[in-house]
Amino acid sequence: MNQIQTIEIPIAGMDCAECTQTVQRAISKLNGVQKVDVFLSSEKAIVQLDPLLVKMMDIRNAVSGAGYSVPKQQGGDEPSSTVLNKYSRRLFTGLGLAFGGITLLVVAGEWLGWLDGLTKIISFQAGIWLVLIGGSPIFLNVIRATLRKQIIAHTLMSFGVLAALLVGEWTTALVVVFFMHIGNYTERLTAEGARRAVKDLTAMAPQIARVEHDGAEKETPISDVHVNDLVVVRPGEKIPVDGEVIAGHGAVDQSSVTGELMPVEAGLGFRVSAASILTQGMLKIRTEAVGSQSMFGRVIKMVEDAESHRADAQQFADKFSAFYLPIVMSIAALTFFVSRNPLATAAVLLVACSCTIALATPIAMLATIGANAKRGVLIKGGKYLEALARADVLLIDKTGTLTLGKPNVTDIISFNEMDENTLLSYAASADRYSEHPLADALRHSAHERGLQLKEAKDFESIIGTGVRANINGAVVTVGKYFSVKNNSVFEQAKILEMQGKTVLFITLDDSLAGIIAASDILRSEVPDAIQKAQKLGIKKIELLSGDNERVVASVGNSLGISYRAQLMPEDKIRIVKEYQTQGYIVAMVGDGVNDAPALAQANIGIAMGARGTDIAMEAAHIVLLREDWSLIPQIIETARRTMRVVKGNLGFTAVYNIIGLALAAFGFLSPMLAAALQSIPDLGILGNSARLIRQQK
């Protein structure tokens, strides 16, 4: 039985969505390849293959045959794309100035006849060789694509070059080749602009750890660090692993993971994340996860994988690009048929810019996803950004989402002459294995009173209700909805619930022993965030909770939103589906644990404060790594801003191409000017999309 392997392969030379599709098709055709995902943002392919049937050389040849390359990775060498990132702003400015200057020089030279002198110095045959030599890399890609029965953007421009040569305009053909190279460079720079935030995030991953063995410290490559290794971190150093602090004390800057700017204190038992920075003190950490398995590694993986979840707008652009090129060729043929003007025909082929259409959406999406990842907001794909931009219903979990999720015991009322400490001891002991926030409150209160918890046998969690356990031979139940026949007890519970408290009923051997009340604290930023979400056009905001009616009503009324109480997990899924069947786009905000099914069902599931929580990372479409409700309206506005940029990119590209094609078809554009003008949309898209990075810093 063959074993399928998954490998990552760097791909060089991609600068648009068309490139990724070309590489994907080339690798997919290899016998033994199961699945291929090609990512523009990280310039790599992830391939699932049978290693007995597919060798690395086969993949390298397939990529090369498609017109791209698999670079050899050399340790210590800085990738050229990283170097480009450092100077991209200066390059962008310089390119714009150089492009404008050269364009003016070429166009003026053509109009004033300055280029005519070249034809007297250089023969036509020599000129053809100059064109072929200068354009050989591009022409070879076109030939490869043609053999694969594909039409690419340079196919049109190559026909334009051929048309110029056929009418004896080798100088025009040579200038067109020059602008083809300029176009390649601007497209590459445009793609790099979108990749920048993702590349910066990847560059933050730690590479070296100081590992302690037998009392001696040794700097070790991160690939050689293992779980349970002891890692020592000193002031100013980057924490290389996820783990628990077993010695030392210090201040940790976690902004690289959560986006939180204020350092936090780390001491014995504190869990730290890779890529955080120790600003003060010294820590000794027991490794729990390293490399791609660390929280930061998973963040990078999610950001890279986000590219595979394409927005509808991007899928439309990809499909349109496939039809656009034949349309342009048809317009060129019609132009020649009507005008019999080969130069006008060449200009039509040269001015068309299909790559810009393909770039319009992913450039904006990549810019937003990368920039937000550095703020602790993980967006799993462009399709979720697009859906969030159209969301009109916001459903919210209460405990751990709207509230801090850390309730405190406020009231203990015991019956049958049982004292408060005994009642609390029974309740906390029964809940000692529960992970519910109310169980934490009981255990914390017992600890503060110095009470020792008893062993809980036959522990049973009753979903949505409470727990049951055997404590010292007595069956103890702790829950929220056990039937109460005593009217005086019911009145006491009602008064507590009207105060916004959650009431737990404790029974011993089916006899009511007492009630314990606890209250949670509403996050301070929630009221303002709710108002901002409403101003952004969210039509309906509803609170969904498993808590009792009075507690939920207290929170809902204080925020001015509707609410539903006493809900089981399946009830939340049902409510999400109800809104969806009515045509609403539903965003659901939860803590990612109890709400995982509803988060997955919603059009956009947003997990609040899900750092390190596997179920939240899997179920939600957007993950907030820190518990800050102000991020909710921010990401809604970010999604809408991104879609405005996408629409602006697509609109600008469409109008620009329509005008360019019309001017070229009617003979108002020379081939030289057409070739020069086809590069401008790339710069426009880069400049427009760059606003997303600047505005989200």
What number is the average pLDDT over the span 654-673? 86
The residue whose two tokens read 């690419």 is 152
Model confidence at 591: pLDDT above 90: no
| Residue among 220, 654, 627, 123 nearest 401 (CA) | 627
Of residues 100 and 25, more confidently modeled? 25
Segment 216-254, tens digit of pLDDT: 888 888 888 899 999 999 888 889 999 999 999 888 887
Closest CA to 237 of 281, 286, 288: 281
Kindly report whether the global pTM for this prediction surpasses the value 0.85: no
Our answer to whether residue 411 is catalytic in this structure is no
Query: In the prediction, which pLDDT does 92 show?
Result: 46
* Residue 78 binned pLDDT confidence (cut-offs 50, 70, 90): very low
DSSP H or E run through 660: helix 631-665
Write out pLDDT tens, residues 118-136.
566 777 788 788 888 888 8
φ/ψ (deg, to 5) at 93:
-65, -45
Q: Is the pLDDT of residue 99 over 50?
A: no
Provide the 3-class DSSP secondary structure of residue 477: strand
Q: Where are the domains of the chain?
A: 5-77, 88-199+303-365+641-695, 208-240+242-289, 380-403+522-625, 408-519
Amino acid sitting at position 225: V
**Residue 632: pLDDT over 70:** yes
- What is the rounded average pLDDT of the residues 483-507? 79
Identify the pLDDT of residue 174. 76
pLDDT-derived band at 675, boundaries 50, 70, 90? confident
Which architecture does CATH list for 408-519?
3-Layer(aba) Sandwich (3.40)
Catalytic choice (397, 520, 595, 682): 397
What does the pLDDT look like over 392-405, one tens digit per residue? 999 998 877 888 77
Over range 566-572, report the average pLDDT.
84
Decide if pLDDT at 110 tops 80: no
Q: How confident is the model at residue 334 (pLDDT cuts 50, 70, 90)?
A: very high
The dotted CATH code for 380-403+522-625 is 3.40.50.1000
- C-alpha–C-alpha distance, residues 15 and 358, integer Å: 10
- String of DSSP letters for 354-398: HHHHHHHHHHHHHHHHHHHHTTTEEE--HHHHHHHHH--EEEEEI
CATH 3.30.70.100 is held by the domain 5-77: yes
User: What's the chain's length in residues?
Assistant: 697
- In sequence order, the 6+-apart residues with CB closer than 8 A to the CB of 678 are 157, 179, 183, 350, 351, 352, 353, 660
Using pLDDT thresholds of 50, 70 and 90, give the confidence band for residue 89: very low
User: Which residue has tokens 């690289």?
Assistant: 256
Residue 79 has pLDDT above 50, yes or no: no
Provide the CATH topology of domain 208-240+242-289: 2.70.150
pLDDT at 367: 77
CB 116 within 8 A of CB 207: no
Q: Is 148 helix (H, G, I), strand (E, B) or coil?
A: coil
Mapped onto helix, strand or coil, the DSSP state of residue 406 is coil
pLDDT tens digit sequence for 410-433: 999 998 788 999 999 999 999 988
Please check whether the two domains, 5-77 and 408-519, share a CATH topology: no
